[in-house]
């Protein structure tokens, strides 16, 4: 089993959800997060005062899939969908999972995620 975590621009939320749905990845968790990367935020003027915005709003997708092939497919779809070619497009992380447990039934492993 693998966990795919993707951090993308806020305006990519619906596009990524639709793209994941098209490849039949349905079990996702979505969170609003804040962070900064290479771009280090941006500078703006608020009521005439210079303000550094170094923590930018992002969307975090967390998806658990059963095989490495599904993880690769999921990563490919997210990267193609969320890519604008500009700084701040985001990052994707893939982790190998030891186990998953469905609380209601006590099932372990891939059976717990479907």
Cβ(20)–Cβ(79) under 8 Å? no
Phi then psi dihedrals of residue 55, to 5 deg: -115, 110
Q: Which two tokens mark 99?
A: 């186990």
In angstroms, the CA 63 to CA 30 distance is 9
The average pLDDT across 79-86 equals 96
CA 98, 103, 106 angle in degrees (round to 5)? 75
Domain boundaries 2-113, corresponding CATH code = 3.30.70.120
The average pLDDT across 32-58 equals 79
The mean pLDDT value of the chain amounts to: 92
CA distances from 46 to 34, 42, 49, 50, 61 (A): 20, 13, 5, 6, 31
Closest to 91 measured CA to CA, from 9, 1, 22? 9
- Sequence spans of domains, the chain: 2-113
Per-residue pLDDT band at 47 (split at 50, 70, 90): confident
**pTM of the predicted structure, to 2 decimals:** 0.86
């Amino acid at each position: 089993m693998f966990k795919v975590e993707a951090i993308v621009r806020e305006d990519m939320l619906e596009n990524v959800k639709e793209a994941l749905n098209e490849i039949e990845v349905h079990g996702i968790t979505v969170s609003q997060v804040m962070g900064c990367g290479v771009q280090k935020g941006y500078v703006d003027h608020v009521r005439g005062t210079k303000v550094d915005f170094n923590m930018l709003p992002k969307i975090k997708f967390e998806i658990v899939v059963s095989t490495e092939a599904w993880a690769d497919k999921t990563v490919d779809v997210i990267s193609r969908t969320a890519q604008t070619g500009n700084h701040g497009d985001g990052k994707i992380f893939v982790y190998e999972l030891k186990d998953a447990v469905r609380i209601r039934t006590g099932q372990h492993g891939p059976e717990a995620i479907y």
